[in-house]
Amino acid sequence: MKILCFHNIFLEPAISLSQKINYPYYTIKNFKPQHDDILIIFGGHQASKILFTLKEVYNNKFIILQSEQLNTPCFNLPFYKELLKHSIVFDWSYSNMQRLKHEYKIYCKGLFVWTFLEPKQIQQNIIETKSFDIFFAGVRTNKRESIINKLKNINPKLKWFVDLDYRLTDYKKLTSILSRCRYVINIPTFENSALETHRIIKALHCKCQILSEPSFDKQLTIELEPYVHFGELTELIKNINTIKDKKDINDYIKDYEDKKIKEFKNICESM
């Protein structure tokens, strides 16, 4: 059993998962295929052709951590859905799991949770002084730019760090910025999309509070409510100085993540 990561943006969760379930991780640059490997895959949407070749030549089997919103171009890359149909699939969202089943006849084995490294594990001298009030990173859209400009006008004294150009794909650089931010806001790219939990859990690890509108995935919203300030972003920003802290990353790991990781490992080992 090995963990294989196909994109730099998934490297940190791949390393973290490797530490938690004690299987080695590889990137496509240092991976050497062997016969009958079982591979836990991050970023499989970009590598469907490669993975089908590994399946045919080396009899590899795959556990795909499906990480893409279902209404994005990434999900519709060639052969990806076919790959999912020939693999064990986990998704991070209950609503995604239902859609995969009903719309594509892709049956998920269960839910996976995003895991990240503590800042102190990444860089000992990282600066954690909260010099920014609000952080946002994500793909640039007109809707997101409009919302951010509106929020800035509501509370103009707040200091923002905004990245809409994918400058923070290196996880150490992202951690160094997030650790200096008080709040992270969550703005979905698409209507009726699953909650971006990777952004939320990464922010918790960096000792940030999270502001988010409720998710289309109602079950995820309920499960993460103890750790996330859900509500209208305009109201949250307007009243930001009166918001009381939610539970932190230590609570999340103890209450939620440890259980999910154990379930995930048990399913993997049952193969």
pLDDT reported for residue 44: 95
Name the strands in the sheet holding 229-230, side by side, starting at the edge strand that comes first in the sequence: 160-163, 132-137, 181-186, 209-212, 229-230
pLDDT tens profile 218-257: 999 999 999 999 999 999 999 999 999 999 999 999 999 9
Structural domains of the chain, ranges and CATH numbers in brackets:
2-112 (3.40.50), 119-253 (3.40.50)
- Model confidence, pTM: 0.93
How many CA atoms are closer than 13 Å to the CA of 158, on its beta-carbon side?
A: 25
Residue 210 CA to residue 245 CA, distance in Å, equals 9
pLDDT reported for residue 123: 77
pLDDT reported for residue 189: 81
**Nearest Cα residue to 95 out of 18, 194, 24:** 194
pLDDT reported for residue 121: 86
How many CA atoms are closer than 13 Å to the CA of 193, on its beta-carbon side?
A: 17
Which of the residues in the chain have pLDDT under 70?
124
